[in-house]
A and B are shown apart, each in its own frame.
Chain A
Amino acid sequence: MLSLLWLIPLLPLAGFLSIVLGGGRMRGSMVALIAVGVVGLSAAMAAAVAIRFIYLPPAGNSFTQTLWTWIPATGFMPEISLRLDALSLVMVTVITFVAFLILLYSAEFMGGDEGYARFFAWMDLFVASMLVLVLADNFLLLYLGWEGVGMCSFLLIGFWYRDSANARAARKAFIVTRIGDAAFVVALFLIFTHLGTLTIQEAAARASREWPVGSGLAVAAAALMLAAAVGKSAQLPLQTWLPDAMAGPTPVSALIHAATMVTAGVYLIARANAFFTLAPFVQWLVAVIGAVTLLLAAFAALVQCDIKRVLAYSTMSQVGYMFLALGVGAWSAAIFHFMVHAFFKSLLFLGAGAVIMALHEEHDIFAMGGLRRALPGTFWAFLIGAASLAALPVVTAGFYSKDLILLCDWTSKSGSVWLWAAGLAGAFLTAMYAFRLVFIVFFGELRTKPGRKPGFRMGAALAVLAFFSLSAGFIQIPPDIVNFSPLSELLETSLPRLSAVSVGTQTEALLQAVAGLAGLAGIFFAWFFFRHPALVERLVLTPLGSAFRRLWLEGWCFDRAYDALFVRPYIRLAEINKDDCIDLLNRTLARACESMHYLLIGTQNGRVRQYAAAVTLGAIVIIALMVLL
């Protein structure tokens, strides 16, 4: 069973190829069948592999499959090999499963779009790239997946490329994440030159052996990988691309936010945990970045009017939680939250997509309202997603994962009260913006009459995701309720265990109660403000209120700041500097090549006797060279 591991990324890739090569001639239903089918098969394979892995764990709790060596040369063995351990197992299972549901949903959602085949081709490639990323045994292959994910996100965000705003959003996503990618490449060079290998496990082992904790190289490697991760995962300071990335079709947003792309950074840090353990400062930085991002994004989400923008900021904020967990060494808690987040975030996006479709491409939440009765199925799905996001105690999965992160912040040796407090404040804000969305969109009076309702395929995807948004938390229940934690037991076979200060059961229970209360309080405040719109208006009209509103609406004005600080000065500098020596050198080189071309091309005049003369001259020169030298 395990030896069929290679099929998991290959199937979506094959789907991509067959659609690209034959998509023009295929009917839409055929395209959808192939695209959804291959990912479904891949998900089934992943499930089978998972069962085999859990009930009959391979030796060393990991399974490496070397397919071939790409271009072997002395000292450089770029192997195409896959590695399955608990971490990649969880990632693969979640990615294939969620992607399958999203694709199933898109088969209906994208119906009638002129780029139907193109859409599914890119989606399949997106999934394949992400699977290569998480299954890669070495950094080179991981980097291939990393770049593939980046390219597909570019293509899909700019899917409706005729609108220049979409193209601009795609470009922005590509360029901003590119900054992180560049750091990643440097990290790879660093690792290869100093450790002499690109195999992840081997490099980690050598690093732990050869680099002392806190040494310059370790800090540099970890910091560069952190830079790569914040780019892909939309964390401070490279978070600005994510809100604009909703320019793509809604299923694309769901895929980017839930299963692929933004979670790549989280995966990278978890996978390279040895390097971060060697650089405690960088790891602390991971936690701080997570904490700050989760707060800033939560504030920004509070005031957005575009339904997808709220969700985009919420993703940023939730990935911030994952970073917070990674930063305090709670590796498995981060992956747990990734898994739960994948379910409820895709559910929310797909629910939002159903609303948007029903209201004829309406994105403004204030034009919605009262949809509870008009779209009951969508309402319940969205409500479940929002409840999970708000970490409604006991019944939702979000509660268990967020609670675990907060607990780890408190108990971890590298945690602190401040990180815990940030997480707690975030939990309050999260609940507030999540339910603000629910109340405004689904309660109150009906403002726009809904048109097309979701059909079977969309409904099925929503239902399954709703089920998992509620139940996925039960595989990791805190010990003070029921001692049942198979997920962390599984993950700890490949990730280090959290080094925690033990606290009493009572403290734990108290912390849980506080976290639960924060969520409930958030929901209450959302309800309160929804019932008293005049209060909100008054708040907004105060000078401080309006200033903050504007600030948050623009996501803390990072775009404007970057524009003023980097983009415009850079462009101005480039304009001033366009005739500097480097440009001059480049241009001179190009000119020199060109003029040499014109010089040489003159000899190609078609005169055969001159050609013969050249041969003769060449012969004389070579004889002279050989004989005289």
Chain B
Amino acid sequence: MVRGDFFILLPLIITGGAAVAVMLLISFRRSHLATATVTLVALGAAVISVICVAAAAPRQASALLILDSYALFYMGLIFAAGCAVTMIAYDYFERQTDHREEFYLLLLLATLGSAVLVSSNHFASLFLGLEILSVSLYALIAFHRERLPSVEAGVRYLILAAASSAFLLFGMALIYLERGDMTFFRSTQIASGVPAWSPLLLAGTALLIVGIGFKLALVPFHMWTPDIYEGAPPPATAFIASVSKGAAFVLLLRYVTLFGLHSGSVQSAAIAAIAVASMFFGNLLALREEKVRRVLAYSSIAHMGYLLVAILAAGPLAAVAAGYYLVAYFTSIIGSFGIISVREGREGGGDAVSDYRGYAWRHPWLGGAFTAMLLSLAGIPITAGFVGKFYLLAAGLESSLRLLVVVLVASSAIGLFYYLRIIITLYGPPEAERQGAAITPAVSLAGGVALTALTFLLIWFGAYPAPLLRLIQAMVGG
């Protein structure tokens, strides 16, 4: 380790340091506002530090981490998403009484794990990042220890995530056995540049895909999603849906691109099968689901399926398409769960679609924002989701992935149904007994700022994508 290494690792150091600071702060004095502020400032500083160190990229920091522009871009995205989740969490926990400060500690650790994941270049750092993320997530999911559904969701995630990381580890061991090296580059490439496939190597890769596929909730490793989305506190769900999945996806994209799995090889058939199944199953599962959070859980399965198209496409456009789609997806899904969290905290009540009847009339701003988020998830023009999907399609067509593109379009059409169903309910006539009870205020300052910013970004990226597109092209396109 030299000084340059420390400098380039600044974003990770800030996040890790902030976790320690928050822990100490909690042990000295419990203050929700102070904890949330420290977290927010730290994550904001991490975003800024990403921009600062970008000039020094790319740089290999020890054998474990590589901080190239690709990693830095997604790191910035993860930290920014962490900021948004922090603000939403502050809004949510401000109305809870018990032990709320630890949430931010866990959030910081989970963010740190995700950041390690996107910059990892070695199986050891992959494993470490993944486990830091997972272990923090167990606690985040079961954070409402007084509520059984939350605890149950925690137990579920614990069992499944631990088992799937065993799969992942075994896969890594097999690849190591065959390749004799655990860095990504050398474990995927031999001198000739093309890996010679042996059964054990194939089995190892397959197990690796299982481990990552679980984090991404791809079919058939998707079953945990609805229960966890429903049981976890909404801010934690926002984090799982965005950062946790996004980091795993970024890792998969890097690894698979290095492996050259995409180039129409037989091995890519397995990934294509997963993609097709995820797109269809996700959208079909959500079709008649009555609970909003479960709908979003199923829809996220489909979204990860869409993203796999970019992995398989691997043309010059694919990385850009994946980047844009991830940004759009982060924005819309954090926003959606932000609104769910704001509503749940104030109106209470169930999470059924019918509970949202007339919500947009009671809270025009929040209702409008939710509408924008859902339209973006559905991929309707003038939202970021549309541009993302457009580029996914363009990338798919560029690599002549006809079947996958057709499935993407067809399953999106199915998906439109349940998004529109929620939107229509939002604008439905409010129930009589709810009508009188106006809830004041609709949202706190922190939540309001976060949601407004997210909605603004959503429309901006949808109507004027050029700046973001240029940034992504510069960061991940090369």
Contacts and interface: CB of A to CB of B under 8 A. Distances in A.
Contact of A619 (B167, B223, B288, B317): B167
Given A69-B466, A596-B284, A600-B285, A625 B273 contact: yes
A594 B283 CA distance: 11
Which of A73, A611, A615, A617 has the most chain B CB within a 10 Å cutoff? Answer: A615
Interface stretch (B27-35, B90-98, B197-205, B437-445): B197-205
A629 interface: yes
Contacts of B209: 622
A603 B210 contact: no
Top 9 A-B pairs, shortest CB-CB distance:
A618-B220, A611-B223, A597-B287, A623-B206, A625-B270, A626-B202, A629-B266, A619-B210, A622-B206
Interface string B257-292: 000000000110110011000000100110111000
Given A68-B466, A593-B284, A627-B203, 8 more contacts: A71-B390, A73-B317, A604-B226, A615-B220, A618-B220, A619-B167, A623-B202, A623-B207
Contacts of A33: none
Contacts of B221: 614-615, 618
Interface of A: 21, 24, 68-74, 593-594, 596-598, 600-601, 603-604, 606, 608, 610-612, 614-615, 617-619, 621-623, 625-627, 629
Nearest to A605: B223
Which of A24, A74, A597 has the most chain B CB within a 10 Å cutoff? Answer: A597
A617 B270 contact: no
Interface string B375-407: 000000000000100110010001000000000
17 contacts: A68-B466, A71-B390, A74-B394, A597-B285, A610-B223, A612-B160, A615-B167, A615-B220, A618-B210, A618-B220, A619-B167, A619-B210, A623-B206, A626-B203, A626-B267, A627-B206, A629-B269
A70 B199 CA distance: 47
B359 to A, nearest CB: 16
B193 to A, nearest CB: 20
A71 B324 CA distance: 12
Contacts of B463: 70
A71 B220 contact: no
Contact of B287 (A593, A603, A604, A619): A593
Nearest to A618: B220
A72 B465 CA distance: 9
B160 A623 contact: no
A242 B464 CA distance: 36
B460 to A, nearest CB: 12
Contacts of B213: 618
A73 B394 contact: yes
Contacts of A618: 210, 213, 219-221
Interface in B437-478: 463-466, 469
B223 A614 contact: yes
A619 B204 CA distance: 11
B119 interface: no
A445 B284 CA distance: 72
Given A68-B464, A71-B391, A619-B167, A608 B285 contact: no
Contacts of A622: 206, 209-210, 270, 274
Which of B205, B220, B398 has the most chain A CB within a 10 Å cutoff? Answer: B220
Nearest to A70: B465
Nearest to B159: A608
Interface in B132-168: 155-156, 159-160, 163-164, 167
Nearest to B213: A618
Contacts of A69: 466
Given A68-B464, A73-B390, A604 B398 contact: no
A615 to B, nearest CB: 5
Contact of A617 (B220, B224, B284, B465): B220
Nearest to B386: A71
Contacts of B317: 73
B205 A626 contact: yes
Contacts of A621: 220
A170 B214 CA distance: 51
A456 B163 CA distance: 78
A159 to B, nearest CB: 18
A278 to B, nearest CB: 32
A291 B3 CA distance: 84
Nearest to A606: B227
A611 B220 CA distance: 9
B387 A611 contact: no
A594 B223 CA distance: 19
B287 A608 contact: no
Which of A21, A71, A593, A619 has the most chain B CB within a 10 Å cutoff? Answer: A619
Given A71-B391, A604-B223, A593 B414 contact: yes
Contacts of B224: 611
A597 B288 contact: yes
Nearest to A590: B417
Contacts of A72: 469
Nearest to A598: B288
B364 interface: yes
Interface string B220-250: 1101101100000000000000000000000
Nearest to B394: A73
Contacts of A625: 206, 269-270, 273
A23 B266 CA distance: 59
Contacts of B466: 68-70
B325 to A, nearest CB: 13
A598 B290 CA distance: 12
Given A598-B288, A618-B221, A622-B209, A24 B203 contact: no
Which of B199, B206, B226, B465 has the most chain A CB within a 10 Å cutoff? Answer: B206
Contacts of A21: 365
Given A596-B284, A597-B284, A615 B164 contact: yes
B391 A626 contact: no
A615 B160 contact: yes
A100 B431 CA distance: 41
A552 to B, nearest CB: 43
A564 B269 CA distance: 57
Contact of A615 (B199, B210, B464): B210
Contact of A603 (B159, B223, B289, B414): B223
Interface string B325-351: 000000000000000000000000000
Contact of A600 (B206, B274, B281, B365): B281
Contacts of A612: 159-160, 163
Nearest to A595: B284
B363 to A, nearest CB: 11
B253 to A, nearest CB: 18
Interface in B19-48: none
Contacts of B160: 608, 611-612, 615
Contacts of B155: 608
Nearest to B157: A608
A103 to B, nearest CB: 24
A560 to B, nearest CB: 36
Given A601-B289, A615-B220, A618-B210, A608 B156 contact: yes
B207 A619 contact: yes
B202 A601 contact: no
A614 B301 CA distance: 15
A565 B210 CA distance: 62
A608 B164 CA distance: 13
B243 to A, nearest CB: 22
A71 B223 contact: no
Which of A74, A606, A625 has the most chain B CB within a 10 Å cutoff? Answer: A625
Which of B210, B214, B390 has the most chain A CB within a 10 Å cutoff? Answer: B210
A4 to B, nearest CB: 18
A627 B174 CA distance: 13
Given A68-B464, A608-B160, A612-B159, A619 B206 contact: yes
A24 B364 contact: yes
Contacts of B365: 21
A71 B465 contact: yes
Which of A72, A74, A627 has the most chain B CB within a 10 Å cutoff? Answer: A627
